[in-house]
Chain A
Amino acid sequence: SQKIEQNSEALNIQEGKTATLTCNYTNYSPAYLQWYRQDPGRGPVFLLLIRENEKEKRKERLKVTFDTTLKQSLFHITASQPADSATYLCALGQAGTALIFGKGTTLSVSS
């Protein structure tokens, strides 16, 4: 069955540094990959979508890469701020189907 792994449960970094989160998957060929932010007790908020034929996507301080050969996506937050502290979820999808989510990585940015 398909499996999604996000490299670590928790990541602690200093304000101003770049946070890099990893999402690996097996037994699946997604048409696209999405990253969401989830705050405690809240639903996920969509951040970025990257398709299988795209290598990189950027949005403000966020950057996502997608390597279908390695079956891996990297999610970067540059110039991180304490307000970026949250759980970040990786999700895989194919056209017309529901998303499959990873467990998430909880990022803590200290000032």
Chain B
Amino acid sequence: GAVVSQHPSWVICKSGTSVKIECRSLDFQATTMFWYRQFPKQSLMLMATSNEGSKATYEQGVEKDKFLINHASLTLSTLTVTSAHPEDSSFYICSARAPQTTDTQYFGPGTRLTVL
């Protein structure tokens, strides 16, 4: 089956630093990847949609200069949280969609970000 990995699985950083999270589709090519954020006991909130080779589309209220998304290849998308602050602490999850399965999204295991 389709497998999506994320790295790192957890990260702790100091306020003001930048953190990069990688999302990889391991056994399929993902033309579209999505980035979600999830706070405790809350639903997954879509942050942005990333298409390979083009700029990401951000949801309303998500700062594109703070959350930099790069989808440089069909198997890799990265999310960089710039100048992180404690309120950015959350669970970040990516998902990927293969070209032939427009309805199904395969999720990564998530990355727990803690900003001190």
Contacts and interface: CB of A to CB of B under 8 A. Distances in A.
Interface stretch (A38-46, A60-68, A72-80): A38-46
**Residue among B93, B103, B105, B107 facing the most chain A CB atoms (10 A cut-off):** B103
Nearest to A97: B49
**Interface SS majority for chain B:** strand
A9 B112 contact: no
Q: What size tier do the contact residues of chain A reach? A: 20 to 34
A98 interface: yes
A103 B43 contact: yes
B42 interface: yes
Interface residues of B, number: 24
A19 interface: no
B116 interface: no
Interface in B2-49: 4, 6, 34, 36, 41-46, 49
Interface in B71-116: 91, 93, 95, 102-110, 112
Closest 5 CB pairs of A and B: A43-B107, A101-B43, A101-B44, A103-B43, A43-B110
6 contacts: A36-B107, A46-B106, A98-B34, A99-B34, A102-B43, A104-B43
